[in-house]
Amino acid sequence: MRHVTASLRHSSFCGRDARARASHKSSLIPPHMLHSLILSLALASRVSLMSQPDSVRPDNDIRLVALRHSGEIQRCYETEGLRVNPGLTGMIEVELTVSPSGRVEDAEVSASGLNGAGRQQVESCITSTMRNWRFEKGPFAPETIVYPFNLVRAPGVISNTRA
């Protein structure tokens, strides 16, 4: 649609001489055919727009995937982090690259507030777990999603500090 608009806009600014020549000559397209031409261009542009992928997945779908796998994140934190360091807490952000097929192509920690023993194990467990996540397949463009996780020990959780 943009190409059509740009070319029409360009032809309207051709200058006074071109407009004068156009008014003296008969139209190249008969008026009764002009409607058909415009309709054809509109339909052609709509078809090409429909085949282009959407830019992003719906926010609700992204949240549902995280909620579905929240137990896995908690397990990584408790078994890999709290087992080694019962005081390990902090925010971690994981950046996912999701393909149109719904597969996670890459997962990496983009920011981490975890400090101390167990940090690397928790980060490694979370990223490898998230690489197995699946999103809805559809006409989506490849996209990067950042998930923040605030890892805090839940009250009453007893961690086994013996390895």
Q: What is the pLDDT of residues 83-128, one digit of tens each?
A: 999 999 999 999 999 999 999 999 999 999 999 999 999 999 999 9
- Alpha carbon dihedral 154, 159, 161, 163, in 10-degree steps, equals -120
Q: What percent of the chain has pLDDT over 70?
A: 61
**H/E element, 8:** helix 2-11
The lowest-confidence range among 26-35, 98-107, 134-143 is 26-35
**Distance in angstroms (rounded) separating the CA atoms of residues 27 and 11:** 14
Output the pLDDT for position 101: 93
Residue 54 pLDDT exceeds 60 = no
Query: CATH top-level class for 59-151?
Result: alpha beta
Q: Which of 66, 89, 67 is nearest to 77 (CA)?
A: 89
- pLDDT for the residue numbered 56: 79
H-assigned helices in 12-147: 16-24, 31-51, 59-68, 70-76, 119-130
Other CB atoms closer than 10 Å to residue 88's CB: what's the count? 24
Q: Where are the domains of the chain?
A: 2-51, 59-151
Of 41 and 12, more confident: 41
Of 77 and 52, which is predicted with more confidence? 77
pLDDT of residue 71: 94
